[in-house]
Amino acid sequence: MRSTLKQARIAADMTQQQVADYLGITTRNYQKIESGQMLGSIKNWDKLEDLFSIHQRKLRQISQEDNR
């Protein structure tokens, strides 16, 4: 899971649907990005970086517990 991305979304008081709408993608595709099942496009990572004001490299990180 990309816990930084999820935490940023929660801190912004946004639902997965709202972020998906902002990106112009389906909620399911956003869920896959947030869970780490899908990479997502560079365009979407640029938008997420702008939305949350967090560098996309940090947002893209997969948490260690998921790598076990």
| Residue 44 contacts residue 23 (beta carbons within 8 Å) | yes
pLDDT in tens, 14-49: 999 999 999 999 999 999 999 999 999 999 999 999
Question: CA–CA distance from 16 to each of 10, 24, 64, 65, 68 (Å)?
Answer: 9, 12, 22, 22, 26
Return contacts of 28-32, CB within 8 angstroms, 24+ apart: none
Domains of the chain: 3-67 (1.10.260.40)
pLDDT at 67 over 50: no
